[in-house]
Amino acid sequence: MERAAAAAGPAVEGGGVNRRAVRAASAAAGAGSRQPSTEALDSPTGSHVEWCKQLIAATISSQISGSVPSEGMSRDYREIQDGHNGYHSEAEPDQVALRDGNKLAQMEEAPLFPGESIKVIAKDVMYICPFMGAVSGTLTVTDFRMYIKSVERDPPFVVDVPLGVISRVEKIGVQSHGDNSCGIEIVCKDMRNLRLAYKQEEQNRLEIFENLVTRAFPVSNGLPLFAFSYKEKFAVNGWKVYDPIVEYKRQGLPNESWKISKINSTYELCDTYPAILVVPTSVKDDDLSKVAAFRAKGRVPVLSWIHPESQATITRCSQPSVGPNDKRCKEDEKYLQTIMDANAQSHKLIIFDARQNSVADTNKAKGGGYESESAYPNAELVFLEIHNIHVMRESLRKLKEIVYPTIDETRWLSNVDSTHWLEYIRMLLAGAVRIADKIESGKTSVVVHCSDGWDRTAQLTALAMLMLDSYYRTIKGFEVLIEKEWISFGHRFAMRVGHGDDDHADADRSPIFLQFIDCVWQMTKQFPAAFEFNELFLITILDHLYSCLFGTFLCNCEKERLKEEVSTKTVSLWSYINSQLDEFTNPFYVNYENHVLYPVASLNHLELWVNYYVRWNPRMRPQVPIHQNLKELLAIRTELQKKVEDLQREAATRSISSSSDRGSSPSHSATPVHTSV
């Protein structure tokens, strides 16, 4: 444990005998030492595991034949120069026969997942790569992906894009070589755009554009998301990862102050909350209903986490409906007093309002508001000044502009700064550190809310819990954290991501969950040995946030998932991940049990996550296969641990067999072997 503390920074005594506060001493390696992956050129094997490895590591692999053009963007990307014909719609049996007789078409055919079906095949479609120029190949559109493959190159050139990542599809027309060529521009949610070109006269006959739009936006076209058709079988059932009763029991609940309530079992108290809640023991159901009526969307203060020693708690909720006339609710006031009283070590309750003070005032004028210290005399209100979803969406848009398709090296740092993305990441981390510190050092219970309690609130509670509880820094624990604080407590994934919806301009879309994962990545950089999972784990989660391959991030709340039978009709992302844990394990992990992590929330210690945001640029590809090296280190670590265990057993055997002269010979010493790998 002492080695674990030293790995990340100096250890400072925390709230209990065995708990330590660990602060990051310095930033991790500079950006120059990191290089992201690129778009994959390899052909997927067809199996889910291999496909995912290729998608995550890259969409065009480092095995690009020929050198990358030296100019910032290929000329073909700026202007579609050529169109080709030869399109075939795969809808009739005779088309299958035609394809079977065409060796080239067979070689360029897309691999399929169980349950996936081909909708359109078009030959001689040109992919306008911004880095390599035009590549002609066969386009396949299925109900899950857009797949382009060219066997003219060695190795074959492949672009494999899940349709779920597509935000917008637009027709573009270009004059070239006397032909009226048609093109399609595809804007993606994962920081890249794609351009395709083909001859205009083929468009109506084959309906490439229409099929692409229909399959990319199934919800808008009355079709189910592909997750409901996906039939892959895994050895592990990911839907069993999170059981709220088990998780609350792990935290020591229920106890004399807190009870597990099923008042929301039919989602009547709050339709966006989970069925199982933890509330103060003394609160009656009638009073809880009155508190729900006073809180926005009925999202009453409920427990998220309790300190194992001080009993200080993190509770989450939405804003009170104070309004311009300073409306009060005695049940709500008494309820917060009860939360404070449940922690005997403090006579104060800290309310962290994630919003900007000015925005909270505006919300108050519209019927919302915040807790006044006159109505809540033992509470202290703190505004964290975090911007709203619209500001975050605009910040990500600016970030995409500077990272794809070209990077201005001469203005890189100033361009990143102008997006304010890292500043917003800093504010989230700083707010979470304040919450964690009040719990750990101040032994004071906190209430966290924003407006509705499902965006900034989830970011802050989940990050604070990650800092406070080492369990959430394991692979399973982090899955539980996401299931609990994000999925079950009603973060509006469908609305914020826009699964299957063609309304790309929807004002409700925002990269809230992406920001949270970015914050987690920043913590892994400052504490590289404190997390059991690696970077690939985080990128995999983000890629499947959009892919609609799994049911994990579908819908907006638990009630909707139950209605859509998500857990029985779709596969969990955790089934895939937990079936191959070696792929996602950090070989440097040391269990920081009972350690509290305090990351440095300073721009000097934060970095742009190049391996995620800039991974599509081949000029930023890794110089060495980092993920493969980590897997090799993990194998070496496992081998060494096995040797240590063998030596320990051998030492114990020798100790027992020669107990009579144990103290006379060093070779027969009973001192246990302690080796840290």
Catalytic residue status for 557: no
ω before 666 within 30° of 0 (cis)?
A: no
CA distances from 374 to 113, 134, 328, 371, 380 (A): 60, 67, 10, 8, 10
Both structure tokens of 205: 């006959």
Q: In angstroms, rounded to a whole number, what is the distance separating the alpha carbons of residues 455 and 492?
A: 8
Residues with Cβ within 8 Å of 232's Cβ and at least 6 positions away in sequence, in order, are: 48, 113, 114, 115, 571, 576
Q: Which residues of 261-296 are buried (b: 16+ CB within 10 A; e: fewer)?
A: bebbeebebbbbbbbbbbbbeebeeebbebbbebbb
Helix/strand/coil for 144: coil
Both tokens assigned to 337? 């007093």
From 450, 548, 555, 557, the catalytic residue: 450
Contact 215, 142 (CB under 8 A): yes
Cβ atoms of 484 and 316 within 8 Å: the answer is no
**Cβ contact 112:46 at 8 Å:** yes
Cβ neighbours for 413, distance < 8 A, ≥ 6 positions apart: none
- Work out whether the CA dihedral 215, 221, 225, 226 comes out positive or negative: negative
Q: Do 204 and 211 contact (CB within 8 A), yes or no?
A: no
Identify whether the C-beta of residue 577 lies closer than 8 Å to the C-beta of residue 416.
Answer: no
Catalytic (active-site) positions? 450
